[in-house]
Amino acid sequence: SIFIIGSSIDPMAATAEPGSLDNALAKPGLSRYILDLRTPPNHSPAANWLNRQRPMQANKYAFFRVHTVPAFDAVLFMSKGR
């Protein structure tokens, strides 16, 4: 089967705004981690947040809106600034 990993690598200010996926991934203050999204608790605040469309940095010049849980099995976060 296919396992899809999204990534947030050193997000830019444009997509690190409140409410974005990049902003939420930066909040724990860790320099790098992988978040497994395959089994979020049903009807929890986290599951509800992840199932909504959020902005996420696509590359250095653009962003896109994504429903995180249906789109990815996991998300890799890495920040150079920590």
For residue 2, what pLDDT is reported? Answer: 92
Query: Residues in the chain, how many?
Result: 82
**H/E element holding 33?**
strand 32-36
pTM recorded for the entire structure: 0.81
Which residue intervals of the chain are DSSP H helices? 21-26, 45-50, 68-71
Which residues fall within 8 angstroms of residue 76, CB to CB, at 6 or more apart? 5, 6, 7, 8, 9, 32, 33, 34
* Predicted confidence (pLDDT) per residue in 7-49, tens digit: 988 887 666 778 889 889 988 889 999 999 988 777 888 888 8
What single-letter DSSP state applies at residue 6?
E
Report the SS3 class of residue 20.
coil
